């Protein structure tokens, strides 16, 4: 994949400012695009946009295809004539830098139900035709997802593996019975997806028109409690009662002494390979429609994956099992052609993973925070890079640069100071400078590092199940004040427009 020398910013849409308690695809998203353009950035990187489940994690979603309806902008319905501006509710919160997901859902869902009623009553023939065309075009995942979400409501939001046995096991009689009973709710969930994707593509089109490309994110695994696992259970390693026999995670590493127990079901790769990787082809195809470039999270799991027996308390007792990544990408290329993919190749990389990455010409990732661990050798120092990489000061899984520096031991600090020549203030800009001056084709900076925020702005702490994914911007004032400096670094190191 040929990437031009460029730079961009990492900010998930939920972290955008706004009056609805969570970022949306509304005017603040367009304002953020304008800020990026003014700073001569070419890329906006986000996390997965799926409907979040357990822990509100974008990597644990109810669907690998659907969108997170909490990102829907209410003001869009004013433009359709469904509401006046005075009828749009605001979300009042004491902490404007934190998303309270439970309260946001309580606040937003009733309004979205009213919006659906308005659509049913007021939609023009053109709007109805567009909705029906969307449903037909996306029927291969939308039917299952809308049914799944309606069933979750019917069963008090319990995971599907705790539903009544007949519908859990997808018995024909139960499927027919519930599809009739829940017909209106199924239509409601289809409508929400229609609006989500309509708003998203309008935003993406605007970003593209301003010279920005958007980097999306594909989690390798799907959640156990997802429409994918329920509707396509033959594609996962389940027993006869549809319990996982093996679950996903990673062995002990930088983040955790006992590894990470993710709990996602493992793919039945033999079955997937036998049917020509149809599910994966649809998944990648869906993502390349949504984004200009896609990052595959936990890329190494497509070469070999850490398989943990179901019921283990930690990830220690897993084992590596070979995955058919080479055959998968050969099939992708034959069907979809060249796809713009970034390989998240962090952690302990083995020659087979590097071969899979390099043979497909996928750029990998470099994390500057990892470069200054004086206790071990690493290949994250900028002078070791080659061009086909994306360098980050940190990712959504890392502490902020200010937080890292404040907690670093004296040896690590001294190594950074000696390497960078930095001995003053603004540690964040010293890191940004190192990223920008490197030969890596692309440099991506989390917005928290541009703003010199401390650990309170950390987005995720791997290995923990609560308190994550909540940080958001209150407003753009501080970011606007940094635009000129960001543009200066972008231009001086040849990454600008």
Give the catalytic positions in this structure.
297, 344, 397
Nearest alpha carbon to residue 25 among 13, 36, 43, 34:
13
Using CA of residue 444, residue 448, residue 453, residue 454, what is the dihedral sign?
negative
> What is the Cα–Cα distance from 207 to 275, expressed in whole angstroms?
37
The CA distance from 31 to 44, in Å, is 13
Query: Which two tokens mark 377?
Result: 């050798």
Distance CA 434, CA 382 (A): 7
Residue appearing with tokens 């890392």: 398
Contact 441, 387 (CB under 8 A): yes
Whole-angstrom distance, CA of residue 113 vs CA of residue 101: 18
Angle at 450 between CA 49 and CA 418, to 5 degrees: 125
- Confirm if 55 and 468 have CB atoms less than 8 A apart: yes
Angle at 233 between CA 279 and CA 248, to 5 degrees: 85
Residues near 365 by beta carbon (within 8 Å), at least 6 away in sequence: 342, 343, 344, 345, 346, 389, 390, 391, 392, 395
Among 86, 96, 82, residue whose Cα is nearest residue 18: 96
């Amino acid at each position: 994949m040929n990437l031009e020398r460029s730079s961009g910013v990492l900010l998930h849409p939920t972290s955008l400012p706004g009056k609805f308690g969570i970022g949306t695809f509304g005017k603040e998203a367009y304002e953020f695009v304008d800020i990026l353009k003014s700073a001569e950035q070419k890329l906006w990187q986000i996390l997965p946009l799926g409907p979040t489940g357990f822990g509100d994690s974008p990597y644990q979603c109810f669907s690998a295809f659907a969108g997170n309806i909490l990102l829907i902008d209410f003001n869009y319905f004013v433009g359709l004539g469904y509401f006046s501006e005075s009828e749009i509710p605001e979300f009042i919160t004491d902490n404007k830098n934190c998303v309270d997901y439970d309260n946001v859902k309580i606040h937003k869902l009733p309004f979205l139900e009213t919006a659906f009623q308005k659509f049913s009553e007021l939609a023009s023939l053109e709007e109805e035709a567009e909705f029906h065309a969307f449903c037909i075009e996306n029927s291969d995942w939308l039917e299952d997802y809308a049914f799944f979400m309606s069933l979750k409501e019917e069963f008090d939001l319990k995971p599907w593996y705790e539903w009544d046995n007949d519908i859990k096991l997808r018995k024909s009689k139960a499927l027919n019975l519930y599809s009739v009973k829940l017909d209106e709710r199924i239509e409601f969930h289809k409508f929400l997806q229609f609006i989500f994707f309509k708003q998203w593509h309008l935003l993406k089109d605007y970003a593209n028109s301003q010279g920005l490309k958007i980097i999306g994110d594909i989690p390798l695994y799907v959640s156990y409690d997802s429409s994918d696992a329920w509707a396509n259970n033959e594609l996962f390693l389940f027993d006869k009662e549809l319990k996982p026999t093996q679950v996903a995670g990673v062995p002990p590493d930088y983040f955790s002494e006992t590894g990470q127990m993710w709990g996602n079901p493992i793919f039945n790769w033999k079955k997937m390979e036998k049917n020509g990787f149809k599910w994966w082809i649809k998944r990648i195809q869906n993502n390349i429609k949504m984004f200009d470039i896609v990052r595959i999270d936990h890329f190494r799991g497509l070469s070999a994956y850490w398989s943990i027996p179901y019921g283990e308390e930690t990830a220690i007792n897993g084992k590596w099992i070979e995955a058919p990544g080479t055959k998968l990408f050969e099939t992708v290329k034959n069907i979809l052609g060249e796809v713009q993919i970034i390989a998240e190749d962090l952690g302990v990389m083995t020659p087979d993973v590097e071969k899979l990455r390099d043979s497909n010409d996928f750029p990998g990732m470099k994390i500057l925070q990892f470069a200054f661990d004086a206790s071990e050798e690493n290949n994250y120092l900028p002078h070791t890079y080659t061009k086909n990489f994306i360098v980050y000061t940190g990712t959504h899984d890392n502490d902020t640069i200010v937080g890292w520096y404040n907690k670093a031991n004296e040896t690590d600090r001294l190594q950074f100071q000696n390497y960078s020549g930095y001995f003053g203030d603004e540690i964040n800009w010293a890191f940004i400078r190192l990223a920008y001056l490197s030969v890596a084709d692309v440099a991506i900076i989390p917005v928290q590092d541009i703003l010199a925020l401390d650990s309170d702005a950390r987005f995720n702490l791997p290995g923990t199940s609560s308190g994550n994914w909540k940080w958001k911007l209150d407003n753009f004032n501080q970011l606007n004040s940094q635009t000129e400096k960001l543009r200066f670094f972008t231009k001086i190191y040849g990454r600008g427009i």
